[in-house]
Chains A and B, each alone.
Chain A
Amino acid sequence: MSRSQSFFRPVPVESPIHRLAPETKVLGGIVISIGLVFNPLWSHVLVAAGLVIAVFIMANLPRSVLPKIPLIVRFALFGGAIGAAASGEEPFVAGIGVGGLLDYGRLIVVGIVMILWAGILSWTTGLTAVGFAIRRLIRPLRRVGVPVDEIGSVVALAVRSLPLVTDEIDVVNESVTNRPSPADLSDKPLREAFSYIGDIATAVVIGSHRRARDLATAMVSRGSTTAPDPHRPDFRKIDIAVIVGSFALCIAAFLVPGWPPIGE
């Protein structure tokens, strides 16, 4: 039971997005993000934002999955908005320059769209499915001499260990936060704090390396260090359509001049 962060915990609802193969979602997300990041024009930003909202609705996700924005981030965003609003850039609306605010809004929307893509992937796909997807996606690299099997095994075992490791970090973190501060206990607070950080890191590393030793013994007991090849997912027509569509959108993003045009 992980407390600080739940990795890839799909929302238990049915939707067309949940049913897509994980590779489709990974590839589609990456390709569309590339199209957006290279061309952050209002036209492109709005299309991407519309698309991500449409996918969110199609995925049948309740609004409550959206994380709460920490207060400090809200303040920072608000402060930035004030600065941008006060810049008085063109164009003017009712005598007030809103250009700065518009630029600011565009940057923030790009950021939100990127975070939402990653979020939708994690709310509709289990971590194990993502692990399999990574291993299948890197498989073609075998031809160019990449040690695909070794990376695949390491990915599989890392995915398998992630919840355990996160729990351990949580326990250490709790133990640290519940202790009296080390800086009060020494004449050299900085030095003490530094050695304390080392101790914390050591606790995490020793705990996890014990796990690594167990893992190695378990693999030897199974007679293999190579994870079995994951089964092919059922690629349906819709998956192929989505992948083709994403690539088309990405290419279009570069070819279409967009609006407003960039003036140097």
Chain B
Amino acid sequence: MSRTDNTTQTASVQDPTTQPARKKRRSEPLDAAEVADAAITAALVVALLAVGRVLASGSLFQVFAAFVVAVLAARRRTRAVVISTCAAASIALILGGLGPVSQAALAGVFGWCGGFALRRKWGRIRTVAFSLLIAWPAMSFSVLFFYPAVAINGKLRKLVFENIENQAKGFGNIITNVGGVFGSLGLGFVERAADWVEGALDSTAAFLIDNWLLLIPATELIYTAIYALAIRAVGGAILRRLDKALVDPIALSLRHDENAQPLPVTIAGDALKRNGTTVTMPLHLDIQRGEHVVVEGPNGAGKSTLLDALAGIDNHDSILRPGAVGLGSFGGTARVGQRPEAQVVGTTVEEDLRWGLDIPIDVSVTLADVGLVLPEDRPTSELSGGELQRLALASALRREPKLLLADEVTSMLDPAEQERITNRLNALRNTAVVRTTHRNDAAPTDRRIVLTSINPTPTLIPDGTNELRTITSAVTESRLLRLRDVGFTHNPTQPWAHEVLSGVDLSIHRYEMLMIEGRNGSGKTTLARILAGLAEPTTGELTEAKGVKRALAHQHVRLQLLRPTVSAELHSLAGVRTDGKQPSTDVERHGMRSDNLDTTIELFALEHLLNRRIDELSGGEQRRVLLAGLVARGVSLLVLDEPLAGLDASGRTDLAVTLDRVRLAGTSIIVVSHDIDWAPPHVDQRLRLTNGRLENVYP
């Protein structure tokens, strides 16, 4: 794991990677990667504790919180763990009071111990010993003294103990009375047994109360040891996969340069790399002051890599410029990356605009520059994708940069908004603009650079069979699902109830493919969840044919894939044993599933991927694995939520081919998308969702 490099101030062309990576001192402030990891860990801990409070499997989620902190502790400095834990504890305090605070603090202590041991690759005994040394006192202290009222003051303790005594006595009384009834019926042994239980209850309660100062630490001792071993096992497994899945970023360093000189910037025949792999052809490029350049090319051709290189984030060796990049500083280089939710850092609109800028800002004027009207205290988590993109762009423009790098910044905008932004960028005279796009826009520009992919994506399914391979399914009816006058209201009984769907009529039959289009906020995600059986309509009628299995494929496929390898994942999704043996029960169904899985692997051309790790696959391949697994499980109706997001032309073709395979397996498909420009071929019906109502576009 490489640490990100230093934060030395540089005034000239400087390549941070050539400086020896120096171990950070304990007291040095956190760098960007550490702050981000600490924050995400804190958010995860709080979310896990909160989810744990509402679910029956709650305690499992609390153990998860410790795993998450262990991962942080294994990869980052103790300082990051401490700060993350403080943040999580203070949010938890306000979220739920003292209980969650102690849970967050304990997750921090346990996680830190576990992570410390993992980093040093300690064995079980050493790990447990270390945890007992550090975490056991903390845990005992927390239970005994964290609720100071319990130990020091004693009034609450007295109340709790009285209740324990009362419970023991009360149930003892009930048992003796019942025993007495049996006794009077001549069953004396029952009465004696009841008396014994009563006595045992009383003495247990008395024992607990008399020895609480000893008993609590003793219980915690056992807990601590179990926790430490669980963290070692699970945390180690997470780390091993994380190292493969996440190449530690690109040297992220902050350099505050007063006099940024990012232009003219030159690349003299170097091929750019990402994570150590060459991704572009050797490039010859120089960009002058005020020049406008459009970079085109398919996914994976290195467009983002080129922009990141120009931003000074990566590939430092290949870029020549007269002075410092000045990324993020006023009059320096501004960068807006691809995914909208990943570009915004502030919790409110106003905070986001002020982040990193020392100059005073008039929020409404800055927003008007990109055609936005938003209240300044609006939380950024409530903004749509298009609003986020424009907010990030507003913040970039406010820096009056010499060089503006815009990576697909209009992908979530309406055509009219897109034109407005394109015109705004074209009107910049003193700023060099480099932007990427995979749509054909005829915007005037000084130059177009077309990148071609050097590693053509081998994702397209090889030509296989085109015959129908119906997966054995229990459904006999033709109509799988019918919605009549269906409506949905969020939190119907609560004050923040709001209606998102109404009067929806829809049927889907076997072998059909439907496409439902709708803009953000039209209720399409809710409809997708209802169609997939993950939400119940609040009004109207939903009838399902007997034996229908429904499933939802989310936009972020990676989150739905759990096991490490393709083969393990397919077996898990389909419910088939990996060892090839027969299960002890349910042999017939297992055999059927196993046959289904074999058919599916052939149909989706997955044989050559079976031994690959999930994290090595491309996005398209991951989706293929997920859909194949669901088909093999016998899902008869598959709903895809936003499968088109971020796909270029070849990605779409790949998706279309995959969907065709799903249909060949006899599974019906509903695609829900915000993109109205493209539909997979063979769509039987296109529908449009507008403000919660569904209408036919054309059959």
- Known pairs A158-B88, A202-B242, A207-B559; A64 contacts B95 (CB<8 A): no
Task: State in angstroms the CA–CA spacing of A165 and B578 once bound together.
Answer: 32
> Considering the complex, which residues of chain B in the window 400-447 have a beta carbon less than 8 Å from any beta carbon of chain A?
none
Interface string of A194-206 (1 = CB under 8 A from B): 1111111111111
Instruction: Give the contacting residue for B346; candidates A38, A160, A164, A165; CB below 8 A.
Output: A160
Are A165 and B90 in contact, with the CB atoms below 8 A? no
Task: State in angstroms the CA–CA spacing of A12 and B382 once bound together.
Answer: 15
Are B163 and A103 in contact, with the CB atoms below 8 A? yes
Q: Which B residues touch A179, using CB under 8 A? A: 562, 572-573, 575
Q: Which B residues touch A196, using CB under 8 A? A: 562
Task: State in angstroms the CA–CA spacing of A7 and B382 once bound together.
Answer: 13
Are B39 and A84 in contact, with the CB atoms below 8 A? no
Considering the complex, give the chain B residue whose CB is closest to the CB of A207. B559
B317: Cβ under 8 A from any A Cβ: no
- Known pairs A37-B156, A38-B156, A216-B35; A221 contacts B336 (CB<8 A): yes
Q: What is the minimal beta-carbon distance from B525 to any residue of chain A, in angstroms?
A: 7
Are B347 and A209 in contact, with the CB atoms below 8 A? no
Task: State in angstroms the CA–CA spacing of A175 and B554 once bound together.
Answer: 10
> Considering the complex, which residues of chain A in the window 46-76 have a beta carbon less than 8 Å from any beta carbon of chain B?
61-62, 64-65, 72
B97: Cβ under 8 A from any A Cβ: yes
Q: What is the minimal beta-carbon distance from B180 to any residue of chain A, in angstroms?
A: 14
Instruction: Give the contacting residue for A37; candidates B32, B56, B147, B336; CB below 8 A.
Output: B147
Are B578 and A185 in contact, with the CB atoms below 8 A? yes
Considering the complex, give the chain A residue whose CB is closest to the CB of B354. A228
Which among B54, B159, B249, B562 has the greatest number of chain A C-beta atoms within 10 A?
B562
Q: Which B residues touch A157, using CB under 8 A? A: 35-36, 39-40, 43, 345
Instruction: Give the contacting residue for A127; candidates B41, B337, B342, B379; CB below 8 A.
Output: B379
Are B95 and A7 in contact, with the CB atoms below 8 A? yes
A249: Cβ under 8 A from any B Cβ: no
Q: Which B residues touch A112, using CB under 8 A? A: none
Are B572 and A185 in contact, with the CB atoms below 8 A? yes
B604: Cβ under 8 A from any A Cβ: no
- Known pairs A84-B167, A213-B36; A158 contacts B91 (CB<8 A): yes
Are A160 and B495 in contact, with the CB atoms below 8 A? no
Instruction: Give the contacting residue for B56; candidates A65, A72, A156, A225; CB below 8 A.
Output: A72
A155: Cβ under 8 A from any B Cβ: yes
B139: Cβ under 8 A from any A Cβ: no
The stretch from B170-178, B206-214, B646-654 touching chain A is B170-178
Considering the complex, give the chain A residue whose CB is closest to the CB of B150. A37
Instruction: Give the contacting residue for A165; candidates B44, B83, B156; CB below 8 A.
Output: B44
Are A169 and B47 in contact, with the CB atoms below 8 A? yes
Q: Which B residues touch A26, using CB under 8 A? A: 94
Q: Which B residues touch A186, using CB under 8 A? A: 577-579
Are A219 and B36 in contact, with the CB atoms below 8 A? yes
Q: What is the minimal beta-carbon distance from B536 to any residue of chain A, in angstroms?
A: 13
Are B153 and A180 in contact, with the CB atoms below 8 A? no
Interface string of A154-194 (1 = CB under 8 A from B): 11111111111110110111111011101011110000001
Task: State in angstroms the CA–CA spacing of A136 and B185 once bound together.
Answer: 71
Specify the main secondary structure of chain B where it touches its partner. helix
Instruction: Give the contacting residue for A103; candidates B162, B355, B561; CB below 8 A.
Output: B162
Q: Which A residues touch B339, using CB under 8 A? A: 214
Q: Which A residues touch B552, using CB under 8 A? A: 174
Q: Which A residues touch B335, using CB under 8 A? A: 221
B485: Cβ under 8 A from any A Cβ: no
Q: Which B residues touch A104, using CB under 8 A? A: 163, 166
Are B328 and A220 in contact, with the CB atoms below 8 A? yes
Task: State in angstroms the CA–CA spacing of A104 and B329 once bound together.
Answer: 62
Are B43 and A218 in contact, with the CB atoms below 8 A? no
Instruction: Give the contacting residue for B342; candidates A61, A128, A211; CB below 8 A.
Output: A211
Considering the complex, give the chain A residue whose CB is closest to the CB of B381. A163
Are B153 and A38 in contact, with the CB atoms below 8 A? yes
Task: State in angstroms the CA–CA spacing of A179 and B571 once bound together.
Answer: 11
Q: Which B residues touch A211, using CB under 8 A? A: 40, 342
Are B147 and A185 in contact, with the CB atoms below 8 A? no
Task: State in angstroms the CA–CA spacing of A230 and B30 once bound together.
Answer: 20
Are A224 and B355 in contact, with the CB atoms below 8 A? yes
Q: What is the minimal beta-carbon distance from A67 to any residue of chain B, in angstroms?
A: 9
Q: Which B residues touch A134, using CB under 8 A? A: 90-91, 94
A150: Cβ under 8 A from any B Cβ: yes
Task: State in angstroms the CA–CA spacing of A103 and B164 once bound together.
Answer: 10
Are A199 and B563 in contact, with the CB atoms below 8 A? yes
Q: What is the minimal beta-carbon distance from B411 to any residue of chain A, in angstroms?
A: 16
- Known pairs A88-B169, A213-B246, A220-B313; A155 contacts B31 (CB<8 A): no
Considering the complex, give the chain A residue whose CB is closest to the CB of B561. A203
A248: Cβ under 8 A from any B Cβ: no
> Considering the complex, which residues of chain B in the window 662-679 have a beta carbon less than 8 Å from any beta carbon of chain A?
none
Q: What is the minimal beta-carbon distance from A260 to any residue of chain B, in angstroms?
A: 12
Are A202 and B575 in contact, with the CB atoms below 8 A? no
Task: State in angstroms the CA–CA spacing of A6 and B572 once bound together.
Answer: 31
A242: Cβ under 8 A from any B Cβ: no
A91: Cβ under 8 A from any B Cβ: no
Are B170 and A84 in contact, with the CB atoms below 8 A? yes
Q: What is the minimal beta-carbon distance from A84 to any residue of chain B, in angstroms?
A: 5
Task: State in angstroms the CA–CA spacing of A230 and B42 once bound together.
Answer: 20
Task: State in angstroms the CA–CA spacing of A7 and B381 once bound together.
Answer: 12
Task: State in angstroms the CA–CA spacing of A139 and B30 once bound together.
Answer: 18
B68: Cβ under 8 A from any A Cβ: yes
B46: Cβ under 8 A from any A Cβ: yes
Are B155 and A39 in contact, with the CB atoms below 8 A? yes
Interface string of B71-92 (1 = CB under 8 A from A): 1000000010001101110110
A16: Cβ under 8 A from any B Cβ: no
A243: Cβ under 8 A from any B Cβ: no
Q: What is the minimal beta-carbon distance from B543 to any residue of chain A, in angstroms?
A: 21
Which residues on A are within 8 Å of B, measured CB to CB? 1, 4-5, 7-9, 11-13, 26, 30, 33, 37-41, 61-62, 64-65, 72, 80, 82-89, 99-100, 103-104, 106-107, 110, 114-115, 117-118, 121-122, 126-128, 130-134, 138, 147, 150-151, 153-166, 168-169, 171-176, 178-180, 182, 184-187, 194-225, 227-228, 230, 262
Offer 26 A-B interface pairs, CB within 8 angstroms, sorted by A: A4-B51, A5-B51, A7-B50, A12-B495, A83-B174, A100-B163, A103-B163, A117-B97, A128-B348, A132-B347, A150-B29, A153-B35, A154-B42, A155-B87, A156-B351, A160-B344, A165-B44, A201-B64, A201-B67, A202-B242, A207-B559, A216-B249, A216-B252, A221-B311, A225-B31, A262-B155
Q: Which 8 A/B pairs are nearest by Cβ-Cβ distance?
A: A223-B328, A180-B575, A157-B39, A224-B356, A214-B342, A86-B170, A222-B356, A100-B166
A212-B40, A215-B36 are known contacts; what are 17 more A-B pairs with Cβ within 8 Å?
A5-B51, A40-B156, A64-B494, A64-B495, A103-B159, A132-B347, A154-B87, A159-B91, A161-B39, A164-B381, A172-B559, A175-B559, A184-B583, A197-B234, A202-B562, A205-B238, A228-B354
